[in-house]
Chain A
Amino acid sequence: MQIPYTVATRPDTGLFNAKLGVWLFLASEVMLFGALFSSYILLRVGAPTWPHGYDLLNVPLATFNTVVLITSSITMVMAWASLMMKDFKKYRIYMGSTFLLGVVFLIVKGFEYGGKFSHGIFPSESTFYAIYFTLTGLHGLHVIGGMIVNAYFWGSGSKMWKSEPERFTNRVEVAGLYWHFVDLVWIFLFPALYLL
């Protein structure tokens, strides 16, 4: 027997399963990062002295990364929009660039980390760095996760466009929701760690 509302939306809720699912998942993600932010606040309030992010970290690089993520967000939403407009070619382009922007983000992060490590700065350096590495590291993992999904929908996953276009569009929308969330987390990470 088929599981209902995998593609169509349920009349009374107006949602298809995966969409509700991903929102719930994001809710739990909010609490996950929330706990880390809470720890950041608690430790910073408790600490006798706390460095300013901009004194220790590379703000321009991070600003650039912010722009990269924002851009990847819009390419992502454009990818979905192209599918809505039944334009598969555009979709491939946009989805592809979303992925590539992810790569750029990681490369930049790589340089940032590398810079620290080469100066012998590791998470154990100070609680500031501990928080910095944990938060950005966890965020990085989320980026990687998102990129894997996007790569799949760009590549072999996109076969579904032929068979079930609507379902495929839904999937891309859901993947998009996750990707935007990753962007959203960064929007708060960035000032919290680099600018304050």
Chain B
Amino acid sequence: MANAATAHHHVHDDEHHHEELGFWQKYVFSIDHKVIGLWYMFTALVFLFFGFTLMMLMRWQLAYPGQPLPGWIFMGLPALIGIVVLFIGGLQRKLISLMGVIFLGLSGLIWYVVSDETMMPGGIMLPELYNSFGAMHGTIMVFLGVVPLAVGAFGNYVVPLQIGAPDMAFPKLNAASYWSYFVGGVVMLVSFFVPGGAANSGWTSYAPLSVIATQGQTLWLFGMVALITSSLLGSVNFIVTIIQLRAKGMTFMRLPFFVWTQFVTAFLLLLAFPPLEAAGVMQLMDRLVGTSFFMPSGLVVSGQILPYTGGGSPLLWQHLFWFLAHPEVYVLILPAMGIVAEVIANNTRKPLWGYKSMVYSVIFLGFMSFIVWAHHMFMTGMGTTISTFFQTTTMIISIPSIIILTALIISLYGGSIRFTTPMLFALAFLPMFGIGGLTGLPLGLAPTDIHLHDTYYVIGHFHYVVAPGTIFALFAGLYYWFPKATGRKMNDKLGRIHFWGSLVCMNLVFMPMFIQGLAGVSRRLYDGGAQYSHAQGVLYLNEVMSVGAWALGIFQLFFIFNFFWSIKKGEKVSENPWGATTLEWAATPTPPPHGNFLTIPEVHRGPYEYSVPGYKDDFVPQHVDGQLVPSQKTKV
């Protein structure tokens, strides 16, 4: 990937020194959206991996409560990866080698955590540590993993190319957004080293618990402020870019669906994040200067009366948090849907079915996602009127999702389906998201939520949407656009192993959660519910899920190896290897030069003109001019 983003992309092995010179200027301080996109991708992938590792550690405690944990395995995994990657990178590939070093760093961090006697005496994880891993897993996966990858990486790299723009509207702002994200990430990592460890009040950080929590929470809040700033800068940039920098002829109804999803996502980030920023500031004040925004009077913690007398409201935090966090979950899914749509259209070789209705659904989804948040708060003592409101909006919001998914499935009908690796992931996304989404419905109705709230059913619900849902879509995107950035293809065999392995394991991990949830097993339990009589019947599943999770980890090795190996040795591809219609493939070299296009293309037709009757190829790029055959009019 190193040379990928540079103007001259075919570096011969004899000009390494040549490349070394430019490294810092070209990559680190670059303001080229492609380079920034790649930085986003690498950083986010590392965080994804880290968040996953935390969970693999937790799964040990859940499967074998109170038994010493073989730390060396869990730190060995990244160490192994690091060494292999370093080996692949050699000295020639700065970036790959750097990644190798980072993985070694990760394994160091994990080693530090698991060998810390205060947190893991005798290798046995303490509740403190379990809680802080849980909170950080959630935070890292959502804010440092998926969003930066889906929006920061794919959005940055692909959107300008797809709309025919030379770059983002504000390149410097773009870089600022990345570095702000970077800072946020570093702060979160640093918080593992402060006394008391990282934040341990759940990713939801409910007050009062979070206000009286250890140091780590303060850093968590600072980290969040940085991440929010990053997202705000990013979203302004995306919206302006999409509105202002569309190439001539690229009308809104000719935008690739992926761009639409990014557009709506940007609005969600822009308008939903600030309230959490405000809430973060208020929680910081509660923690640091003793205000009591979220702290009711007369709290007694372990016999001590707390000095909070302002009569604050714990529910205020929940409202401000969920006002962001519900739109946030659509931020996690919309870009995923966009990627899936691109891949499906390309691999069925036919236009998306009901493109317009999909676009309207996404917009509607965006609007609705601002007025459903309190479905996370049914158990906080809600009266009938207001709960009716939120139940209704929650049911309504499921409709556009259904429309989009249905349109995608119907798009398969009559196609000529190529089962490429990206397509496999995109196809698997549909039923997996289906399961996740459908299980959202019983949660969305207050009476059924009574039994299911805060049980593993919820965990199962949203992991089906984010893990075999979003994560699969992201994999699809990685396999699909990898050649664009590198000029090389990822290995297909390894890709298929990675796919089938992940598919099986994901279900092994998350399907049992529904069973446990229905049996009433609560989430966030350090011992996986071992003490509760109602959990006894389903306790054995904890081990099943853990094994599933570890196996899932093993299968990721195929991906990681494939990824780095292909950067260097992957098979070279033609300009438009997938035979795609959208500009990023059709209208510019692979990889694209600095400035993206040799000449800014002009757009003449809709995004998915595949298999147009009577045309020579089975795809008509958006910038191809003129009537193709008298009979057929271009579809917009």
Q: Do chains A and B directly touch (beta carbons under 8 Å) in the complex?
A: yes
Nearest to A15 among chain B residues (CB) is B244
B165 CB, nearest partner CB in chain A, Å: 8
Q: Are A20 and B289 in contact (CB under 8 A)?
A: no
Which residues in chain B, 594-633, are within 8 Å of chain A measured between CB atoms?
Answer: 595-597, 600
Digitize B264-305: 1 where CB-to-A-CB distance is under 8 Å, 0 elsewhere.
Answer: 000000111111011101100100011111000000000000
CA A28 to CA B237, docked complex, whole Å? 13
Nearest to A22 among chain B residues (CB) is B236
Report which of B171, B240, B291 forms a contact with A21, defined as CB distance below 8 A: B240
Digitize A120-155: 1 where CB-to-B-CB distance is under 8 Å, 0 elsewhere.
Answer: 001110110010001000100000000000000000
Q: Are B166 and A1 in contact (CB under 8 A)?
A: yes
Nearest to A126 among chain B residues (CB) is B310
Task: Please name all residues of chain B whose beta carbon is closer than 8 Å to the beta carbon of A36 when the two chains form the complex.
Answer: 278, 282
Which residues in chain B, 141-184, are within 8 Å of chain A measured between CB atoms?
Answer: 165-167, 169-171
Q: Are A123 and B166 in contact (CB under 8 A)?
A: no
Q: Are A24 and B236 in contact (CB under 8 A)?
A: yes
Q: Are B289 and A28 in contact (CB under 8 A)?
A: no
A38 CB, nearest partner CB in chain B, Å: 8
Task: Please name all residues of chain A whose beta carbon is closer than 8 Å to the beta carbon of B278 when the two chains form the complex.
Answer: 32-33, 35-36, 39
Task: Please name all residues of chain A whose beta carbon is closer than 8 Å to the beta carbon of B270 when the two chains form the complex.
Answer: 24, 27-28
Q: Are B293 and A138 in contact (CB under 8 A)?
A: no
Q: Are A134 and B310 in contact (CB under 8 A)?
A: no
Q: Are B289 and A123 in contact (CB under 8 A)?
A: yes
Nearest to A138 among chain B residues (CB) is B281
CA A28 to CA B232, docked complex, whole Å? 8
**Secondary structure call for the A interface:** helix
Asked if A85 is at the interface of the complex by the 8 Å CB criterion, the answer is no
Asked if B245 is at the interface of the complex by the 8 Å CB criterion, the answer is yes
Task: Please name all residues of chain A whose beta carbon is closer than 8 Å to the beta carbon of B243 when the two chains form the complex.
Answer: 13, 20
CA A173 to CA B243, docked complex, whole Å? 20
Which residues in chain A, 18-49, are within 8 Å of chain B measured between CB atoms?
Answer: 20-21, 24-25, 27-29, 31-36, 38-39, 42-43, 46-48
A40 CB, nearest partner CB in chain B, Å: 10
Total count of chain A residues near the partner, CB < 8 A: 38
A39 CB, nearest partner CB in chain B, Å: 6
Task: Please name all residues of chain A whose beta carbon is closer than 8 Å to the beta carbon of B595 when the two chains form the complex.
Answer: 1
Whether A42 contacts B311 in the complex (CB less than 8 A), given A123-B289, A124-B291, comes out as: no
Whether A122 contacts B289 in the complex (CB less than 8 A), given A3-B167, A127-B311, comes out as: yes
B164 CB, nearest partner CB in chain A, Å: 11
Task: Please name all residues of chain A whose beta carbon is closer than 8 Å to the beta carbon of B237 when the two chains form the complex.
Answer: 21
Asked if B312 is at the interface of the complex by the 8 Å CB criterion, the answer is yes
Asked if B313 is at the interface of the complex by the 8 Å CB criterion, the answer is yes
CA A69 to CA B618, docked complex, whole Å? 63
Report which of B244, B275, B311, B312 forms a contact with A35, defined as CB distance below 8 A: B275
Asked if A5 is at the interface of the complex by the 8 Å CB criterion, the answer is yes
Q: Are B166 and A130 in contact (CB under 8 A)?
A: no
Task: Please name all residues of chain B whose beta carbon is closer than 8 Å to the beta carbon of A33 when the two chains form the complex.
Answer: 278
Task: Please name all residues of chain A whose beta carbon is closer than 8 Å to the beta carbon of B166 when the two chains form the complex.
Answer: 1-4
Report which of B170, B236, B285 forms a contact with A130, defined as CB distance below 8 A: B285
Whether A134 contacts B311 in the complex (CB less than 8 A), given A3-B245, A4-B245, A43-B293, comes out as: no
CA A31 to CA B290, docked complex, whole Å? 25
Whether A43 contacts B170 in the complex (CB less than 8 A), given A20-B243, A28-B271, A130-B293, comes out as: no
Asked if A17 is at the interface of the complex by the 8 Å CB criterion, the answer is yes
Nearest to A31 among chain B residues (CB) is B274
Q: Are A46 and B311 in contact (CB under 8 A)?
A: yes
Asked if A10 is at the interface of the complex by the 8 Å CB criterion, the answer is yes
CA A145 to CA B240, docked complex, whole Å? 22
Q: Are A39 and B316 in contact (CB under 8 A)?
A: yes
Q: Are A47 and B311 in contact (CB under 8 A)?
A: yes
CA A12 to CA B597, docked complex, whole Å? 23
Whether A127 contacts B291 in the complex (CB less than 8 A), given A1-B166, A27-B270, comes out as: yes
Q: Are A17 and B600 in contact (CB under 8 A)?
A: no
Task: Please name all residues of chain A whose beta carbon is closer than 8 Å to the beta carbon of B245 when the two chains form the complex.
Answer: 3-5, 17
Q: Which residues of A contact B (CB under 8 A)?
A: 1-5, 10, 13, 15-17, 20-21, 24-25, 27-29, 31-36, 38-39, 42-43, 46-48, 122-124, 126-127, 130, 134, 138
The 7 A-B residue pairs with the shortest CB-CB distance in the complex, in nearest-first order:
A1-B595, A35-B275, A124-B290, A35-B278, A32-B274, A127-B310, A130-B291
10 contacts between A and B (CB under 8 A): A3-B169, A13-B243, A28-B232, A38-B275, A39-B278, A43-B313, A48-B311, A122-B290, A123-B291, A134-B281
| Given pairs A13-B243, A17-B170, A42-B319, 15 additional interface contacts (CB within 8 A) | A1-B167, A3-B167, A3-B245, A4-B244, A4-B245, A15-B244, A20-B239, A21-B170, A24-B235, A28-B235, A34-B275, A35-B274, A39-B278, A48-B311, A134-B281
